[in-house]
A = this chain, B = another copy of it.
Amino acid sequence: MSRLDGFIRRLEAQRDCLNAVARLVGDRPGPVLEVGLGNGRTYDHLRTLFPGRAIYVFDRAVLAHPGCIPPADMIRLGDFRETLPKFRAEGARAVLIHADIGNGDKESSLALARDLAPTLAALLAPGGYLATDQPMEEVRLEPQPLPAGAAEGRYHFYRAAG
């Protein structure tokens, strides 16, 4: 399989996970966290799926497409290892965290995932969902099967215990 094929499969799995979460969450209260804004494509998808819901966005810098810039008061700029614990102290618990934190280097992406997994788990409301490009090993995160049709192993989907 080419890298183009693999990339398409990962994006399809990501979209299918997010669409599934929108159905699962329904009108349960709580914000959505977008960890890694990037070009803003997924942020745009999240605001379509979750109209009217608070979506907090975390990244080092805002480099998104001009049409996908979040409101300034919803952006938390800086290193995820600092901004996520700080946000945890604000007290909100999320119904969904989407974390695309891979940087193209497998080892350093996995190391970041290991560092962030406990904080991400703590940021989720009981029964909240984590959709991510990295595997996360954390006892409070229960692995979920990907939605039907999504390519296994291309994306990772967890539910917070409780």
Contact = CB atoms under 8 A, between A and B. Distances in A.
A41 B2 contact: yes
A45 B3 contact: yes
Interface stretch (A4-12, A70-78, A132-140, A146-154): A4-12
Given A2-B48, A48-B2, A41 B7 contact: yes
Chain A: interface size category:
20 to 34
Contacts of A67: 3
Given A65-B104, A104-B65, A15 B5 contact: yes
A68 B11 contact: no
A41 to B, nearest CB: 4
A3 B104 contact: no
A88 to B, nearest CB: 27
Interface of A: 2-5, 7-8, 11-12, 14-15, 40-42, 44-45, 48, 65, 67-68, 104
